[in-house]
Each structure stands twice: as C-alpha cells, then as structure tokens.
Copies of this chain bind each other. A is one copy, B any other.
Amino acid sequence: MKLATLKDGTRDGQLAIVARDLKTAVVADGIAATLQRALDDWAFLAPQLDELSRQLNEGRARRSFDFDPQRCMAPLPRAYQWVDGSAYVNHVELVRKARKAEMPAAFWDDPLMYQGGSDDFLGPCDDIVLRHEEWGLDFEAEVAVITGDVPMGATPDQAQQQIRLLTLVNDVSLRNLMPDELAKGFGFLQSKPATSFAPVALTPDELGDAWQESKLHLPLRSAWNGKLVGQPNAGVDMVFNFAQLIAHLCKTRHARAGTIVGSGTVSNQDAKKGYSCIAEKRCLETIADGKPSMPFMGFGDTIRIDMLDADGKSLFGAIEQRVCAAS
C-alpha cells in the first residue's frame, strides 16, 4: 500500500491511503489519525490500512478524492529519529579524491552514518527557505526506509524484518558551512537544514522485483531547473544495504518505530548516470580541471526528484521544490 500525510493545519497532518496510480486517495483517520500512530501499532493497524488500500485500488472506497501532492506534508512531518548513511561509497571516494584525501579502507566495511534533525521535515512541494545564498545550498537525492521497533544488537536479517515503508528524500545540505562543522568533529548541525520527503511512503511489496536484498533496484531521477542531471540506479554500487545500515545503528541501542534511515546520496561508478547532488559534479570537475565550476543552487532554482517503475509510472510521486529567500 501507499501512504501519505495530508496538510490539515496540525503538526502531524492526516493519514491517507493513496491509490497505486497516485490518482486518488482516501483519508484513513478511522484507522489511524497519523502515520506515527500506525507505525506505533503496525501489526494491528497495517492489515486494516491494507484492506482500505485494496478498496481504493478497486474503486470501491467511499469518499475517495483526487490525490494532490501539493497538499502533502512529509509522510512523517516530524519523526523521533532520522539517520542517514553513506551507502554509495563511490560518492564518498569522489569527495575525498577531490580534496586529495585518502579514503580509509574501513569505509568499505564500516558504514558512515550521521544523526540528523527530525523535528521539522518539509513536504514534497514545500519551498526550501534559505537565509543566505552563499551558504551553498545543494540537493541530495536518496532512498530511505522507515522502520518498526528494532532491538539493540539486531542482525541485518532481523533488521530487514522491521522495514515497514520506503520513500524518497531530498537531504538538503549547506555545503559551505560543512568544512567548519566537519573540522569540529561533532557531525552536521547547521549544515543540514530541514530535510524533504516524497509525497508517498510505500510498503516493500509495492515494489515487486525492484526490492531485493534490502536494496531498491531502480533509477533515481534528479532534475535541476528542469534538466535531468542524474539517474543512477539505487540498487547499483550500494555497498551497505538498508538491513546493514539499520543493524549498524542498533549496535548499542534500540531504534524505535518511525525511525527513518537514509541511503546517502545515490551514486553509481558509471559517471554517465549523472549526479544526485551538485557536490559530486563539482568533485568530478575538481578531479578533471583542478577546480569546480558548477555553482550550488540559487534563489529561484528548482529541484525535482522522482523514481519511475518499469512502466514509467511514478512510484512515490515527485519531490518538487523551489529555493526561496527567507523573508
């Protein structure tokens, strides 16, 4: 099934079921008021949501309406946990190469992951509000999973069983604030402002064969100012799959229901697949020419992130955002 959260003036929005073709939706608040509520009691509520989804897809749901991504908040408008991996080590290697830094060999065995802010997510069509253009705003197109409760010490196999939903992410970054924060060693704080999410989160069974070995085997398409700049396959060159990322997180602690785990910027070794963040393009330029030439995003720029199924139909709906100056 496909789930979305509709704007209704509240902090957590209203849970809705969305039809497979993203054309219609139906409010699910008779079952669970919010997505977090559904995740908190998934075993009991998911079968009821699934039945409503079946009715909607068969055209039998009462009070269905046209689905409008503009009305969507992030599937979880605020979450109790957002952690982001760097599973496409190719991306990490390029960044390091551009600044002539050796990549530690351990990066191929031990996932890099940061704890992100999760109190204030952006919906798929919300503006990215920026105070200063010179902070170097960049998009990062990613896949993410949303989990149930995962106990401390869970193995990747156990973690995989707790993957409830998948969605797409724009992990908005402020590149020019990063060097100083990374030098402090305490991770990202100011350089990672509010993160954006696709209109829809879906259960793995919606993906058929594209979901295998805890990876999503489809191209992730990023269009910057209307121009397709990246379409790497999210199932290729993913060194750590989602089950491994979750297990890494849970080495010393539990992860509770509603934890969102990102893949990191999707990146293929095949440079013809383009890029899922401007920083990667600038790294390639630096390696080739000694310096980057592509600027970061400016006020008025747009970013569109989408993933299509084998028939060319959008799976999650698109993230479509514009960069705006803070008033």
Give the contacting residue for A193; candidates B110, B112, B184, B253; CB below 8 A.
B253
Bound: A312/B86 CA distance, A: 50
Q: Given the known A-B contacts A252-B174, A252-B177, are A117 and B120 also in contact in the complex, defined by CB atoms under 8 Å?
A: no
Contact A119 B81 (CB under 8 A): yes
Contact B186 A252 (CB under 8 A): no
In the complex formed, the residue of B with least CB distance to A185 is: B182
**Count class of interface residues, chain A:** 35 or more
In the complex formed, the residue of B with least CB distance to A137 is: B252
Contact B80 A252 (CB under 8 A): no
Tell me whether chain A's interface is mostly helix, strand or loop, or mixed. Answer: loop
How many copies the complex holds: the figure is: 2
A321 CB to nearest chain B CB (Å): 15
Bound: A115/B185 CA distance, A: 12
Per the 8 Å Cβ criterion, residues 305-327 of A in contact with B are: 326
Cβ-based interface call for A286 (8 A): no
Bound: A194/B81 CA distance, A: 12
Per the 8 Å Cβ criterion, residues 5-30 of A in contact with B are: 11
Contact B184 A186 (CB under 8 A): no
Q: Given the known A-B contacts A131-B153, A177-B252, are A119 and B80 also in contact in the complex, defined by CB atoms under 8 Å?
A: yes
The interface stretch among A159-167, A255-263, A277-285 is A255-263
Contact A129 B152 (CB under 8 A): yes
Which chain B residues lie closer than 8 Å to A177 at the CB level?
A: 252
Give the contacting residue for A187; candidates B80, B115, B118, B190; CB below 8 A.
B115
Which chain B residues lie closer than 8 Å to A110 at the CB level?
A: 180
In the complex formed, the residue of B with least CB distance to A249 is: B189
Contact A254 B194 (CB under 8 A): yes
A129 CB to nearest chain B CB (Å): 7
Cβ-based interface call for A78 (8 A): yes
Bound: A259/B117 CA distance, A: 10
Contact B118 A80 (CB under 8 A): yes
Contact A252 B119 (CB under 8 A): no
Give the contacting residue for A188; candidates B117, B187, B256; CB below 8 A.
B187
Bound: A153/B257 CA distance, A: 32
Q: Given the known A-B contacts A11-B40, A177-B252, are A115 and B81 also in contact in the complex, defined by CB atoms under 8 Å?
A: no
Contact B112 A186 (CB under 8 A): yes
Which chain B residues lie closer than 8 Å to A33 at the CB level?
A: none
Contact A119 B255 (CB under 8 A): yes
Bound: A118/B80 CA distance, A: 6
Contact B326 A152 (CB under 8 A): yes
Cβ-based interface call for A42 (8 A): no
Cβ-based interface call for A135 (8 A): yes
A contact set with B: CB distance below 8 Å: 11, 40, 78-81, 83, 86, 104, 110, 112-120, 129, 131, 135, 152-153, 174, 177, 180, 182-191, 193-194, 248-249, 251-259, 326
Across the A-B interface, give the 8 residue pairs with the lowest CB-CB distance, nearest first.
A187-B187, A80-B119, A81-B119, A119-B256, A114-B186, A193-B253, A193-B252, A78-B80
Other A-B contacts than A11-B257, A177-B252, 5 sampled, CB-CB below 8 A, are: A80-B120, A110-B180, A113-B189, A120-B256, A185-B185
